[in-house]
Amino acid sequence: MSKETPEPDIDDIEIELLLEALFRRYHYDFRHYARASIKRRLIQARGRLGMTSFSALQERLLRDPEMLAKLLNYLTVQVSEMFRDPSYFRALREKVIPHLRTYPSLKVWIAGCSNGEEVYSLAILFREEGLEQRTLFYATDINPKALKAAEAGVYPLDQIRKFTENHQKSGARTSLSDYYVADYDRAIFDSSLRANVVFSDHSLATDSVFAEMHLISCRNVLIYFDRGLQERAVGLFEESLVRRGFLGLGRKESLRFSDHAAGFSDFVREEKIYQRRDR
Amino acid sequence: MNGAVVIGGSAGAVQALLTLLPALPADFARPVLIVVHVPPDHDHGLVTLFQAGCAMQVCEAEDKQVPEPGTIYFAPANYHLLVEPDGSMALSADDPVNHSRPAIDLLLESAADALRSRLIAVLLTGANQDGAEGLRAVFRAGGAAIVEDPETARVPTMPAAGLALCPEATRLAIDAIAPYLLRLA
């Protein structure tokens, strides 16, 4: 075992080329994702897809579109829970909803919705608060397989206990069991919850504004981006929000160091809920 | 960044850190990044706990922040802490690794990648094997690998696993680690 590793690292060169190939061939842009996490995921993919190097993976990827779907599942793998961080949902319920009530119709964007846990959480919350009928939800992600899962609304039954506990802590007015039926080891959520949901492919890295929103919830997505891409995404959010519209981020995400910070004010500081300034 | 110290620990690690961290001076030349396994649902209170007794600044690691010398950064509960190639810190909500989030392996491996020979890694007491692969990665990248002596550690499993994968690691009793870091830094 040698103590000195020659520079530059071959893996790092190959990863850069692979991400470039992925972008030029399929227009999926991971070039400005935080590199340490991407590298871990690619190492995982390389092993499980039986490739000896990132170059070999790249060669397959360029010629075989099926490899794209496989790779995306590694690059976008995202686990979540319904009502994750219940205090966030409680703050939406108690502090944001009273403002949203003043609008005759509402648009809500769940950016990076992954398998849809947060989509159903918000649909339930809005139903409980009597706003569901006037709300259109946009649930977006870059991974078609995740969007399909989100649209199906089926989750492992063994997660339901945690989901239920979170829901209760969010200030629930109903029981989570009102919204799903259990089928062996799966919980199938009521399709009426997605009656007002549009599931759509959208990339915060390459796509632009598509509607005017009253609330954007984008949690634990920005941490995967580098600074530049974070700025792009927050810029999109600022442009998309109505004046005095709301932006909710993940527990450990913040606009503190963002170029767009001036466009927002803290609304519920500890829950990372921001309000677009009225200029 | 001129390198860093990364520390991982699990069962018994808070006690071990109460010996190690207060022994480092306010002007310690490197930032110190720490992963301690804690339950996911709560803010773990480690910052408050260590602020009082430490000469170094103590805070929670923030996403994309560049770590400063003389400062101790704890990984937040329920997030992995990684080091980016440019030396800044990054958080991730990826699946737990070794049943843990934060996982020690992720911090050590990413830091080894970013900082190579400018990294010092310390693996403390614990009841599982998280951190062993990370320690080996640190050593292979030319960094310094240190393990709390399993014979005197509160729970020997984690440091023993570290030594099994990285037998070249320097083995030290908990109260000898800070003086050793001061000589290296």
Decide if B95 and A35 are in contact by the 8 Å CB cutoff.
no
pLDDT digits (tens, 9 = 90+) for B82-117: 999 999 999 999 999 999 999 999 999 999 999 999
Chain A touched by B79 (CB under 8 Å): yes
Q: What is the DSSP string of A212-233?
A: -EEEEEE-SSGGGB-HHHHHHH
Per DSSP, chain B holds a count of helices (H) and strands (E) of: 6, 9
- Residues A64, A60: Cα–Cα separation, whole Å: 6
CA–CA dist B134, B157 (Å, integer): 15
Which chain B residues contact residue A220 at CB under 8 A?
Answer: 93
Residue-wise pLDDT tens digits, B137-183: 999 999 999 999 999 999 999 999 999 999 999 999 999 999 999 99
Q: Is A227 within 8 Å of B76 when comparing Cβ atoms?
A: no
Residue contact B95–A224, C-beta within 8 A: no
Distance from CA of A78 to the nearest CA of B (A): 6
- ipTM rounded to 2 decimals: 0.91
List the domains of chain A with CATH numbers. Answer: 10-75 (no CATH), 86-276 (3.40.50.150)
Q: Is B37 a catalytic residue?
A: yes
**Span A108-119, mean pLDDT?**
97
Instruction: Report the distance separating Cα B81 and Cα A68, nearest Å.
Output: 28
- The whole-angstrom distance between B178's CA and the closest CA on chain A is 24
pLDDT in tens, A175-233: 999 999 999 999 999 999 999 999 999 999 999 999 999 999 999 999 999 999 999 99
Nearest to B33 by CA among B84, B75, B86, B69: B75
B171, B163 Cβ separation under 8 angstroms: yes
Q: Count of CB contacts below 8 A, A vs B?
A: 70
More confident residue, B38 or B76: B76
Of chain B, the end-to-end C-alpha distance in Å amounts to: 13
Amino acid at A176: L
* A223: nearest CB among B93, B95, B139: B93
> Where do the domains of chain B lie, and which CATH numbers do they carry?
4-184 (3.40.50.180)
